[in-house]
Structure 1
Amino acid sequence: QGQGMPDNNSLKFLDLHGSSLQPIWEQQTCLDIFDRLSNLLYLNLSLNSLMALPQGIFRGLSSISELDLSSNALTYLQTDVFPPSLETLHLSNNFLVSPDPNCFRSLRYLSLSANRFYCDCTLWDFLEWLNSSNVILGSPVQEYKCEFPAAVHNLPLVEYAMIIEPCEEDDEQDVQDLRFALFTFSAILILSVTLSGVIYARLRGHIFITYKKLVSRFLEGPKMSPNENNQKYDAFVCFSIGDYRWVEAALLKKLDNQFSEENLFRCCFEARDFLPGEDHLSNIRDAIWSSRKTLCVVSKRFLTDGWCLEAFSLAQGRMLEELKHLLIMVVVGKVAHYQLMKCDAIRSFVQKRRYFTWPEDPQDLAWFYEQLISQILKDARLKEEAVVLEPDHRPEPDKGIALEIVNAT
């Protein structure tokens, strides 16, 4: 006890019948009992109440030729459980319901009498093997009978073989292939959507610029120009004088044709176009009524500048008088929505009209300029009903771009 089988032993015959191996192996003990019996030729394991054979239990029996497993309770045999050298196998008086013929590939003699065969389509391979095998059977094949189901109880296997039909082709592999295909498709779809989101988030500015170039080249044709009219200016750009440097860099250089020949508009703004010595309010009125549109750049300075607010009120009055979309509002800097609502001159416009907000991400500048230019060019009638503000055009509290940090290029 406590000592293993010695190496290189010459044991050839071993009888362990009635040794109660089932409870021992159930406890995962003595699983290496046969590992050093490479010379063993005969092994008797009958009457051990074995319900299953542990995986690899016979791996050391490289010379075994006869194995007796009769009078146990085996219901299933693993395909590779027996050594290739095995030639004689006793399996009578077990509970094998549907033996796998692949277990018997090396045999010359097999005893299967008094087993409880379950006769259904899964027995097809075994019956085919019985009909074609050259293995010597320990008892006539006519003695092998169906035990289950009740409809074919005691029916000889040779008779059942004449009425049995093979199982329908197993769709499991097709199901597995379909699952794999769905998994692959889902993984690619998720990866594509995620990658597209990342690319859009980081490169949407370049994507928009490329898109506009393609559209302008193949679809839009020649570049649009302002409508011909009797107005002196296309747009009066109204802003607080303290924001001049920012407005010049961010808007005037992109809109006014005196800053660049590529720009479309003739803009009017105080520092250049107001007549010196003339009443300031008269200059504002002339600028508004001499321009197709009024573009108000609303910042914190704008909200505290009385002249700017007066200009906003005059432009809004002209818009209501002519019933045209003549007033464009661009909110820049950290101006919260509630700050706009506190200003009497701007409140009604904010409640009824759409307005622009300066984009926080430089990638969105190209889109912003495109929308702003389109709004200046548009000559639309004013609807009597209120226009609902879209969330994208409402500045959130404490968000925006400080005027002093905007890139002036």
Structure 2
Amino acid sequence: MGILKQITLYIALCSSISSSSAFSLKNCTISTPLKDTQPKVLCYKMGFFSFPLIPTNTRILDISFNAFTQIQIGDFSHLSNLQDVNISNNKISQIQEGAFDSLSNLTHLNLASNRLKGISGGMLHGLTNLLVLGLDNNYIQDIEESAFSTLQNLKVLNLTKNHLCYIEKIKPVFASPYLEELYIGSNHFDAFNSYEMSTKPLSLKRLDFSNNPLATFHLTENIFPSLSHLDLSYCGQNGTMIWNVTEKTFFASVKTLYFMDVHMSAQNAANVLQSFKNLSNKIRLNGNVKLNKTNLLLNACSPVLKVVRLNANKIKHLTNHMFDPCSDLAELDLGDNEISELSPSMFRGFTQLKTLRLQINKLTRITNSFQMLFTLEFIDLSRNSIKTLTCKDFANLTQVKSLYLYSNKISVIDSCLFKDLKSLEVLKLGTNHLLRISDAFSNGPHSLLDLQLSFNKLSKIEKYAFRNVSQLNNLSLQDNQISEIEGHAFEGLNNLTSLLLSSNKISAKTLTRHQNVFSGMPNLKNLELQANSISFMDDQLKNPPFTDLKQLRVLSLHSQRRGIGKIPSNLLQGLSSLEMFYAGNTNLGHLNPDTFKFNPQLWFLELSKNALSEDNSIPAELFHPISGSNQTLILSRTQLRSLNFLLNANLSRLSTLRARGNEIDSINKTLIQSLPRLEVLDLEKNTFTCDCNNAFFIDWAKNINSTQVIYLNKYMCSYPPSLRGMSLSDFNTESCTLKTDFICFLCSSIVVILTLLSSFVWHFLRFQVVYAYYLFLAFLYNNKKKHNGSTFQYDAFISYNNEDESWVMEELIPKLEGEQGWRLCLHHRDFEPGRPIIDNIIDGIYSSRKTICLITRNYLKSNWCSSEVQVASFRLFDEQKDVLILVFLEDIPTHQLSPYHRMRKLVKKRTYLRGPKPGEDTKIFWQKLKMALEIKEGHNSDRGIL
């Protein structure tokens, strides 16, 4: 039974590997280029209950946020190249031992946010090169002793938010000799005794004990000689935690202590901090609202300490001597408090302070509070209520490189404000109440590289507004009310590479009113103008606005509020280096063929959410100037009905095509062949027709291994109605395929069958076939006669054998023609020379009122006589008239008629004449024959002998 199971598993795996060789993965995407031999596959948030098909060469796999309940042997058997796997946020409660045996190359494994209750001895077997393991947010209560014995290279282990209660349960993890980071916060440890964890020195460098109800902490052995980071945040139980560290040197290597919002008495807190005094250089004291801040700093600060964070402590006032013990600090974080006032005396003791954070407080002014902080390099005053700034507020701060003033209530900036900020490189003034900046930067800062003025109320950019900040690289002016930009407004910004003007009130008039709107920025690479009111009516502009931007790489015009209307043919004139153009969501209905004739380097074009439903909305000529480089084309939700415009677009280098959410019903072979370098194709949410028109596309998408067809299994049939809602990939294309081998087999089979059938018919049914053939000819002739309304030419057609010709000539003709005056049709006399015999027979019979068959043994052997009888009998059957007279000149027994079954049937049903025997009186015979000829056609005589 075990062998059978293994064979079944092997077959399933082979099938899996084969099926995943193409890149049309079900509910998964490949985020790396397809030429990458070890791709990154993303399958998160797809509702998987079982393991999906994954390419065998996958290097990174993300299958998080699904519904897996277990990991089985075989799930990863064909994925030996995996290096990073994220299986977090599933419902995994079981991992079969040996499930990871094939993952010897795996370095990162994330199993967080599942339902694991324990770690068994063989669960992690095979992960010999694993470096990082995430098991946080599970239900782990127990770890078997041998669980980590094979993880000899593990460096980081996260067991946060589990159900571990006793510290000795952690001991098995140290079977990984090089473990450097251990996170065991948010468990249920109420006591820590070092001997329960280990009796030997550990290699840990980072240890997180946070969010545990520790009542005791006993460290009696130096098991943490390399520990540099210790997190004791949110620990303690009712303020009674006992701290017992027998030697202060046990934490000699700890440089960073997180001591946030601890639940312990002031004395216990002091004992903890004293254990790290003169050792740590960084301490977080956030959220210790109930502890005296002065005492905290007194017990923590030392000449070694460089960073103190006091966030969220509800500090309202800073006393003058509060920071005296911390004069050697390099960084002080007082963010998220309730500080409303500052004074220079508060910070006078600092001699080395470089970073000061005062964000999220209640400051309304600064009042020159930083004048003594000569070493300050970074100031964060964001998210306060500062309304005004004076020229002295930043006096003497010559070393400051970054100043954050965003999210305040500043309405005016004086030109003297930044005169002392000689080193300022980053200035953030966004989300304030600024109305104008005409001369705000007339005195610099000259070293400024990044200026943020977004989310203000600026309505106009004046001429030369930024020429004294000529070193700027990035200028952000989005989300203002800018409707006017004067000529030369950006003059002097020779180093500017990014200009953000989105979400303003810029119109076409703003851009074209002056010829030099964007002059003075020769190195601008990125220009964002989306979400404005730019709209054009003309096909060509008198003053194209971007002619000076020779180095521009990215231009964004998408999401214009009123719609762009049209793109003038010379709008992009001058942008010879343009590589990426965004024009989506602009209500664009047509593109001029000359739109990109000035942009030969363009490789990325985004036109989504437009109205391009007309056949000529996107002319093929549009792409001819830009066909020389690899391209990305995004046409999602543009009402496209077809992609046939690409056939003549010369986009042989197109690598990414996204056209989801359109009305495309078919993709033909010619279109696919015109895009030989296509790597990513996204056509989800189109109105595909499930018929043979898409057969090539379906087969191509399933089997191609050079193009990733995004979410092929989600392409749904819209037509015909009977298949609506069915997956396009499920459509059976075999019925559409013309298979040569099958056709040859079918044709040869038909030939053999027909040969056998014809042989059978000829051998057994040839008389019936011949009879049917003559009947058919008679039928055609009869219809023709009826149609033409012809009259009879003869009284009787004489059917006889040549052997009986003497009797006909000597007896029959003299009696019927000579004495009675009948007109007879004789084949030797009345048949038309050169005409087919059968045509003469049919014509003769249907031109005569009756047919007289002179039957002898020779007659029965004659094929032509048989044909004459058959035609005459069909006429008899068709007209239901007495048109046939049988005359037996010889006595022929019934059994001799059987080979000629037609004659036998006629004898049984028809009255016939016997010829006069030698010595008999012939008068009676001729009298009966005369009577038979004179009987009207509609009369049927009884069967018998005359």
TM-score, length-normalised on structure 2? 0.17
Higher relative contact order (CA 8 A, sep 6+): 1
The structure having more radius of gyration, on CA atoms, is 2
TM-score, length-normalised on structure 1? 0.37
